[in-house]
Amino acid sequence: MFEYAPAPESRSVVDIKPAYGLFVDGTFVDPVDGGSFKSINPASEEVLAEIAEGGAQDVDRAVRAARTAYEKVWGPMPGRDRAKYLFRIARIIQERSRELAVLESLDNGKPIKESRDVDIPLVAAHFFYYAGWADKLPYAGFGPDPKPLGVAAQVIPWNFPLLMLAWKIAPALAAGNTVVLKPAETTPLTALLFAEICQQADLPAGVVNIVTGAGETGRALVEHPGVDKVAFTGSTEVGRAIARAVAGTRKKLTLELGGKAANIVFDDAPIDQAVEGIVNGIFFNQGHVCCAGSRLLIQESVADRVLESLKRRMAQLRVGDPLDKNTDIGAINSAAQLARIRELSDAGSAEGAERWSPPCELPERGFWFAPTIFTGVTQAHRIAREEIFGPVLSVLTFRTPAEAVEKANNTPYGLSAGIWTDKGSRILWMADRLRAGVVWANTFNKFDPTSPFGGYKESGYGREGGRHGLEAYLNV
Amino acid sequence: MSERVAVRKTYKLFIGGKFPRSESGRSYLVQDANVSLASRKDARDAVVAARAAVKGWAGATAYNRGQILYRAAEMLEGRREQFVALGVPGDEVDAAVDRWVWYAGWSDKLAQVYGGANPVAGPYFNLSAPEPTGVVAVVAPERPALLGLVSVIAPAIVTGNTVVVATSPTEPLAAVTLAEVLATSDLPGGVVNLLTGRITETAPTLAAHMDVNAIDLTGVTDAELAADLEVKAAANLKRVLRPAPADHDWFADPGLGRMTTLLETKTVWHPKGV
Amino acid sequence: MTATATSARSDLSELGRSETALRTFLHGLPGVDQVGAEQRAAQLGTRSIKTTAKAEAIDLAIRMVDLTTLEGADTPGKVRALATKALRPDPADPSCPHVGAVCVYPAMVPYVAEVLRGSAVHLASVATAFPSGQAPLEVKLADTRAAVEAGADEIDMVINRGAFLAGRYSEVYDEIVATKEACGDAHLKVILETGELATYDNVRRASWLAMLAGGDFIKTSTGKVPVAATPPVTLVMLEAVRDFRAATGRQVGVKPAGGIRTTKDAIKYLVMVNETVGPDWLDPDWFRFGASSLLNDLLMQRTKLTTGVYSGPDYFTLD
């Protein structure tokens, strides 16, 4: 047996302060009412830092700082200069990428190989891409003189903390807006390091403000009358509440919400790559991915074969220390999320689906969940309908392409879908019929700053990435 | 010799390509005519008809949809005098005809302007293309009754959506007459459905309906009602077009916004390999 | 499941009898998506193998080396020196294992045999008009028999790529069957020359064809064309031997050859073996590296691990 020795990435590259304030108007400040909360490492439950909890007054201060920066500095600044600030930020992110990757894995629990090879490179790429748009907005197809909206309120989730920050801040700033961003309460650290990067880049004060806190802080931000734009990524439930909150206001809204994507495997699929795609689709980032391929639809004629390969492949997944370079599946982000995954998985068993996990030793401390598949699942099972947001795959079968489409679309969500077949015309036929914003054919979970991403139906509206991503931050 | 007794017209709803009376049996007197007073159940039936029409209409070729919208322009041009007789100014009818023509041309061009290939950093074919969102509920502007109506219907349907429209409550005759134009324009039944009556009765039903994908609040003038409809629309995260400002110029270039708000962008990835 | 496997077994044994059956079978194998396969191989290459794992991997890799010289300029003196090195790769360290085999041209086999006699190091010889395979079948079989008679216990044959690419699968199949027969007790490694097969689909089909015809090993390359072994090609071949064993119960070995020069590369391949086919193949009987300069790099890295000091090429023999 070939045992891989531990290969931990050094955490000494990152210097975590014992406590962080709010980043408002270019400096770190204490919250008005002095509240705070702790951010912990989900792999060890160790406290990483004490984080300021922003209240309504702090949000107000941040929005006013953003307004002043918008009116006095960032709005009037020529696009070519805004571009240069964004390019600077992109470069600093590249230079400090190892530090950001380690910090992301510590705070979030995701494997270092993902934060290092996926998250942080995409963050830098995103800033680099939108930097180039800042002085080319008249050519973006939104008329000769598109205008920014003003102050953008942005609330992001914990699954890709810095990447979601990049998806929000880069296009907003490129278009000429200023922002107040609230990171998720369980993963604020890379956003706060990003605030330092803004300082390092000499970004004018007030252009980017980071207000940490939980749901109440987010609500205060979204409901603040001084914001012109609200952008949210997170659960459909909260997205709905935000849509109600902005009803009747002038605030432009974009939402990137939940999903329950079908990953459809036909009998003529390239099986080995399909199995990789299935694994990547549901176990990437512990399944904490809104576009995760959480419903596997296999054509009946190859179901046994695909499942056998999938199980064999799952047995190779290495669960454990997120900082170990060989870890494939890290920690579940929080105790609350772990409880939800357990609850839905138990419901799957209770409803009669057959549960399977490879033999896998989980660490004692921290929040862990073994990669799991359920077979014998039908559309009626809760695990086939509700977003689990964890490393849990529901397996269903189908007989014909039409049945695959029908089952794939039979959900209120519509974020993504996967198709695996060697037949080109079938891919295009399927892609036309799937009600999903992103369709990955013979691949899965691929992202690029040039490629628009976003959902149909209850997965939200608006697109992030590409030329389309600018529209959310322009008055068009 | 007695003067000929004129045959008067009955103004009815337009649902699924047919002209039914309101299931409630109600009508109201407006513009010197009895017009059907649509109920919540009529709104429900209209949504069913609109949903049933989505597959065929969204699946039709863009060329075909363009031809049908252009046909609507031809038919409207031919009935110019009929609208003038209803009190619609001649230049408004002309502008409405031109609007059909303008939108008709977008059917097979918008995907090229609004979608395209994305140069991703990897060996992938990556294409984004717009698709219709599905069933769109529309509150048409109160006036201009004809141009306003055409200006909200055409951008919604040209891309493949189907619509359920709450028409101008005070000037519904142009709407019902437009339905006759559409009924003779090769437009498949159910693509456009028109509900005459009170906005306050039909719009909340449409806003809350879970099988409606988007709502266009253009014609809602009461800010409180607009906010309430938007709140209802959040139940299934409908795409929302907010009310038009009171001074909106309906004769001006409409831009792409009405079309694009009612579209979904779908991005397809595929590896490039041998 | 067992019933399926059994019926699959009897089916496969009949395939070679008909060109149509062979073609239908080979073209019915699942396709390989190039981008996906290459990404998987690259991903496996990011595993970090350190300390104890690295030490074990290096010794295993040394045991898997088919120490090779296939030059027109080879002489008895040259191959004797190579064979001596195969037995004791690091004369300064008796704990260093011997390599898997020495691989030479048929004419050099007798000289190597003298050195290796009585040792556990195998003696491999390329045959069948290596590297092009462009000779009459009779000549290729005579080549094979001569190498075996001279003392080779492993034969590395080349397939007829021209026939394969032209779709004449039976011809390729029959040649392998005939060569296997000519091998007698010697193990047959079938070189697919993947650099000339153009697609991974072809690599998978050629792998199955070679296994169906009785090959004991499938090998990537001759080392004589510009593209030799690559991680994705080896991945596809490993998937083939894995699936072949599942279908027939017979285990076939894999030998990437050419282009593998560093310890880092070798370890990537071992990781790939480990995670694709598992420990059953992590043995010189089932996985080999066809290489020459790789051995010295393995030895240098081995010394670094034991002494903590980076070594240099002057401290290892150049044979």
Phi, psi for residue B173 in degrees, rounded to 5: -65, -35
Closest-approach residue (CA) in chain C for A118: C43
Residue A440 has what pLDDT? 98
Provide the pairing of β-strand C289-291 with C154-158: unpaired
Does the pLDDT of residue B259 top 90, yes or no? yes
Domain of C40, CATH number, reads 3.20.20.70
- The DSSP call for residue C257 is B
B28-271 placed in CATH 3.40.605.10: yes
Residue C9 has what pLDDT? 52
| A192 and A268 co-located in one domain | no
* Confidence bin at C2 (pLDDT 50/70/90): very low
**pLDDT, tens only, C189-218:** 999 999 999 999 999 999 999 999 999 999
Does the pLDDT of residue C4 top 80, yes or no? no
| A198 and A296 co-located in one domain | no
Q: How many CA atoms lie within 13 A of C9 on its CB side?
A: 11
Residue of B245, B244, B217 lying closest to B231 (CA atoms):
B217
> Domain for residue A131, yes or no?
yes
Residue C6 has what pLDDT? 43
| A68 and A164 co-located in one domain | yes
Of C54, C85, C180, C219, catalytic: C219
Closest-approach residue (CA) in chain C for B125: C35
> Domain for residue A295, yes or no?
yes
- Decide: A431 and B268 in contact? Cβ < 8 Å: yes
Q: Which two tokens stand for residue B180?
A: 């006759």
Provide the pairing of β-strand B33-36 with B27-30: antiparallel
Residue B181 has what pLDDT? 97
Tell me the shortest Cα–Cα distance from A398 to chain C, in angstroms. 19
> Domain for residue A403, yes or no?
yes
Domain of A274, CATH number, reads 3.40.309.10
Inter-chain touch A276–C36, beta carbons under 8 Å: yes
Q: What is the CA radius of gyration of chain B?
A: 19
Tell me the shortest Cα–Cα distance from C314 to chain B, in angstroms. 42
Tell me the shortest Cα–Cα distance from A86 to chain B, in angstroms. 19
**pLDDT, tens only, C270-308:** 999 999 999 999 999 999 999 999 999 999 999 999 999
Which amino acid is located at C165 in the chain?
Answer: L
CA–CA gap between residue A187 and residue A105 (Å, rounded): 10
Residues 50-69 of A with CB under 8 A from C: none
> Domain for residue A451, yes or no?
no
> Domain for residue C132, yes or no?
yes
Catalytic (active site) residue C156: yes
Inter-chain touch C36–B272, beta carbons under 8 Å: no
- Token pair 């020069």 in the structure block, residue: C261
Q: What is the mean pLDDT of residues B130-150?
A: 98
| Interface residue of B131, B240, B268 to substitute, partner A, most A CBs within 10 Å | B268
Of A117, A272, A326, nearest to C48 by CB-CB distance is A326
| A239 and A283 co-located in one domain | no
Domain of A86, CATH number, reads 3.40.605.10
Does the pLDDT of residue B274 top 90, yes or no? yes
Dihedral over Cα of A53, A56, A62, A63: its sign: positive
Q: Which domain holds residue A304?
A: 262-441
Inter-chain touch B118–A239, beta carbons under 8 Å: no
| A417 and A465 co-located in one domain | no
Residues of C in contact with B272 (CB under 8 A): 35
CA–CA gap between residue A459 and residue A261 (Å, rounded): 10
> Domain for residue C182, yes or no?
yes
| A231 and A345 co-located in one domain | no
Closest-approach residue (CA) in chain C for B124: C35
Residue A1 has what pLDDT? 67
CA–CA gap between residue C130 and residue C258 (Å, rounded): 15
Q: Which domain holds residue C31?
A: 2-307
Share of chain B above pLDDT 70, in %: 100
Which amino acid is located at C196 in the chain?
Answer: E
> Domain for residue A448, yes or no?
no
Q: How many domains does chain A have?
A: 2
* Confidence bin at B74 (pLDDT 50/70/90): very high
Of C90, C156, C216, C297, catalytic: C156
Residues of A in contact with B239 (CB under 8 A): 461
Strands of A372-375's sheet in order across: A354-356, A372-375, A392-398, A295-299, A262-265, A416-420, A438-441, B263-271, B124-132, B116-117
| A63 and A196 co-located in one domain | yes
- Measured in whole angstroms, how far is the alpha carbon of residue B127 from the centre of its chain? 28
Q: Which two tokens stand for residue A73?
A: 């500095």
Tell me the shortest Cα–Cα distance from B114 to chain C, in angstroms. 29
| A296 and A338 co-located in one domain | yes
| A89 and A230 co-located in one domain | yes
Inter-chain touch A270–C30, beta carbons under 8 Å: yes
Residue of A311, C77, A303, A466 lying closest to B267 (CA atoms):
A466
**pLDDT, tens only, C67-124:** 999 999 999 999 999 999 999 999 999 999 999 999 999 999 999 999 999 999 999 9
CA–CA gap between residue A466 and residue A450 (Å, rounded): 4
Residue A209 has what pLDDT? 99
Q: What residues of chain A have any CB closer than 8 angstroms to a CB in chain B? A: 125, 141, 143, 236, 239-240, 243-244, 247-248, 255, 257, 412, 414, 427, 431, 436-443, 446, 448, 450-454, 456-458, 460-461, 463, 466-468, 471, 476
Spans in chain A with pLDDT lower than 50: none
> Domain for residue C316, yes or no?
no
Q: How many domains does chain C have?
A: 1
Residue A86 has what pLDDT? 98
Tell me the shortest Cα–Cα distance from B119 to chain C, in angstroms. 17
Which amino acid is located at C67 in the chain?
Answer: L
Q: In angstroms, what CA-CA distances link C171 with A445, B47, B166, C163, C244?
A: 43, 66, 75, 7, 21
- Decide: C44 and C81 in contact? Cβ < 8 Å: no
- The DSSP call for residue C189 is E
* Confidence bin at C3 (pLDDT 50/70/90): very low
> Domain for residue A106, yes or no?
yes
| A295 and A247 co-located in one domain | no
- C-alpha triplet B206, B207, B212: angle, nearest 5°: 65
Residue C7 has what pLDDT? 45
> Domain for residue C96, yes or no?
yes
> Helix, strand or coil for residue A463?
coil
Spell out the domain ranges in chain B.
28-271
| A125 and A237 co-located in one domain | yes
- Pairwise pLDDT comparison (C315 vs C100), residue with the higher score: C100
> Domain for residue C240, yes or no?
yes
| A220 and A279 co-located in one domain | no
Residue-averaged pLDDT of chain C: 94
A325 and chain C in contact, CB less than 8 A? yes
Of A427, A437, A471, nearest to B267 by CB-CB distance is A437
Does the pLDDT of residue C134 top 80, yes or no? yes
Inter-chain touch A440–B122, beta carbons under 8 Å: no
